[in-house]
Amino acid sequence: MTQKSVGSASVGEGELLWIPSKAFKDAAQITRYLDWLDREKGLTFADYDSLWQWSVAELDAFWRTIWEFFNIVSDGEIDKVRTGSTLEATRWFDGTRVNYAEHLLRHEGQAAPGETALVHSTELRPLATMSWEELGGKVRILATRLRELGVVPGDRLVSYMPNIPETAIAMLATVAIGAVWSAAAPEFGAKTVVERFAQIAPKFAFVADGYSFNGRSFDRRSEVATIAAHLPSLEKLIWLPYLGLDREIEADVPIINLQDLLASPAVARSDFEYTRVAPEHPLWVLFSSGTTGVPKAIAHGHQGILAEHLKVMSLHCNLSPGKRMFFYTTTGWMMWNSVMAALVTGASAVLYDGSPVHGGVDMLWRMAAETGTTSFGASPTLVQNMKKAGVRPGELYDLSALESVIVGGAPSTPETFQWFFETIRDDLWVTSQSGGTEVCSGFVTALPSLPVYAGEIQCRGLGIDAHVWSEDGDEIVDEVGELVITSPMPSAPLFFWGDADGSRYHESYFTTFPGVWRHGDLAKINARGGVYIYGRSDSTLNRFGVRIGTAEIYRVVEQIPGILDSLVVCCETPDGGFYMPMFVSLEAGRVLDDGLKATIAGHLRDDASPRHVPDEVHHMPAIPYTLTGKKMEVPIRKLLMGMPAEKVVSRDAMANPALLDWMLEFAQRPEVVARRSAAA
């Protein structure tokens, strides 16, 4: 690989930083696919853009090649690649029955004895590995026991556990028998978890007694008891004593020890049968951030997610046997599912649970060196914290195994890209990617055979008909507009759970541009196909790379005595960080003193999670609403980011126009200007 030196000066957006060497391109998985297309299908392409154009113009042909190239194992053959007349009504791979977990564990039959599937550590557990044979064996044991306990295809099984191998085993075992998986991170408060899980009526729940973060252990037995008490469908709790605490909780359902289940007799591969399911059968339920109310329960299917993950993890992320993928995430975020998806390529998944700065701000790089990580992922915010601390990973650790970096979860700056080249080495493949929980993948992504430009996402994903449109619905190039998807993709939701008529799904993405998916990202696609994401065009908050819905915060804060109303926004700053202020209106006679601020922070931390705590809390005379009764989150966010008022909001659209003057004054306060003007 080669790389254009950028020196120590600040790099500009779009500046060329890296060019892949011929050897790197020749060894890439995308090159294998192109050679196969030429050999088997008689298809040749001059460059990536022509390949992408074909993939979206000939969707059926493209996705059939993915099915064939990766040799997806199925009962039945594809009758039709697609059925349905609209993007939201399309169904994929009619006539097939597959199992996602079967493909994640397929490499077990090909791996050498002792070859690693999982590399894992936590603040409480030392670094260790798990072989493909051990992982597959434990999954078969647990899946068999779950069947014996009465779990049948379609049952929902949920998790309230840390990012540890037991959670991975539970997910794979659940999916292996056709049950439906869903997860929440253990730092989520009970109310936040119940709002999610109650929608899908789970039969069993995998729960841990607690978790550790930044050197502190957090007992979650009370939260587990509350969650269980508010899930009437629950029949059993499967308990993991992660902190070593006993099961002294009140529950109306039996409690079974997960370790006891895993200690059951082994089940040979030849004696285990995966439950292969039809395209309409749910794989898992992921939850949206909850911006507009109760989080959306997004159901995906086995076939669609499998085809998409094979494509993106292999062709775009360039994973294959012998490689190791890490991304700093929790079990409640789609990136956990993406890390687990590395297994579908035969690569290893690297798991870590705990604070990313436990033992030092360079902790993740120490772990990357110790684990032999080849693909390292983190949010831009974490990277900025390392940069500000003066960390130079390449001088501290042996990162010779590291091949690529994925910066995701939030927009990346050119300076973020530059930092990797300057502080690790100049032959890294540094990438940024962007997608969504709704598709559990990336719309715009990386490619090992393309150059890297500062701050630029390399390309639109194969088979992803992504464009940027103006407010009038016209395609624009080299201009900022709305990111839209104009053709179906396999990993789009099957449905939202409980959304019987599909109205919530439709209203979430298809009302701005009828028949077209509007994702809610501000984006730019340039003439060479590179992509820039500039943040959310809606009101979703982004906290340390994890998206948070404003409604989750409001439901907590507005229960606090003395608080009448609240509004919270999150602004991206030029250094890749975030500024998240909250505004509250108070009952007459109440004062926003340090005590009330501490109460707000405490409730958010306990009832939601530490990520929900704002940077600042300010008293506002009243919360601004539109005439139609909607909180003015997006206009306030844009004002705080320095956009002119006349381009953001009309006084005539406000229920209380006088509040705009208060907000304009606040936006010009020196400390607010300094926050939005922070330099990297």
Instruction: Reduce the secondary structure of 482-504 to three states and give it as a string.
Output: EEEECCCCCCCCCEECCCCCCHH
- The Cα 31–Cα 449 span in angstroms is 8
pLDDT, tens digit, for every residue of 125-173? 999 999 999 999 999 999 999 999 999 999 999 999 999 999 999 999 9
Cα angle at 515 between 511 and 516, to 5 degrees? Answer: 80
Q: For 662-672, what is the mean pLDDT?
A: 91
Low-confidence winner among 82-91, 97-106, 157-166, 639-648 (lowest mean pLDDT): 639-648
Q: Reply yes or no on whether the pLDDT at 1 is more than 60.
A: no
The superfamily in CATH containing domain 549-676 is ANL, C-terminal domain (3.30.300.30)
What's the pLDDT at 6? Answer: 38
Helix orientation angle between 302-310 and 59-69, rounded to the nearest 10 degrees: 80
pLDDT at position 291 over 60? no
CATH of domain 16-101+285-536: 3.40.50.12780
What percent of the chain stands above pLDDT 70?
94
pLDDT of residue 2: 45
DSSP letters, 612-625, are GS-SEEEE-SS--B
pLDDT for res 388: 72
Which pair of structure tokens corresponds to residue 362? 């360079």
Each domain of the chain, given as residue ranges in start order, spans: 16-101+285-536, 132-276, 549-676
Q: Which residue has the tokens 């099915």?
A: 67
- Which of residues 579 and 235 earns the better pLDDT score? 235
Residue 622: Cβ-neighbour burial (10 angstroms; 0-12, 13-18, 19+)? middle
CA distance 463 to 59: 6
pLDDT in tens, 453-502: 998 999 999 999 999 999 899 999 999 889 999 999 999 999 999 999 99
196 or 578, higher pLDDT: 196
SS3 (DSSP) at 108? helix
pLDDT digits (tens, 9 = 90+) for 314-348: 999 999 999 999 999 999 889 999 999 999 999 99
**What pLDDT was estimated at residue 410?**
67
- Of 5, 330, 281, 271, nearest in space to 140 by CA: 271
pLDDT number for residue 238? 97
Decide if 132-276 and 549-676 have a common fold.
no
For range 273-278, the mean pLDDT: 98
Over residues 417-433, mean pLDDT: 94
Confidence check: pLDDT of 65 > 90: yes
CA distance 477 to 480: 8
* Helices assigned H by DSSP within 484-590: 503-509, 550-557
Q: What is the pLDDT of residue 227?
A: 96
**What's the mean per-residue pLDDT of the chain?**
91
Q: What is the H or E stretch that residue 249 is in?
A: none
Between 571 and 24, residue with greater pLDDT? 24
What tokens appear for 618 in the block?
A: 């300010």
Architecture of domain 132-276: 3-Layer(aba) Sandwich (3.40)
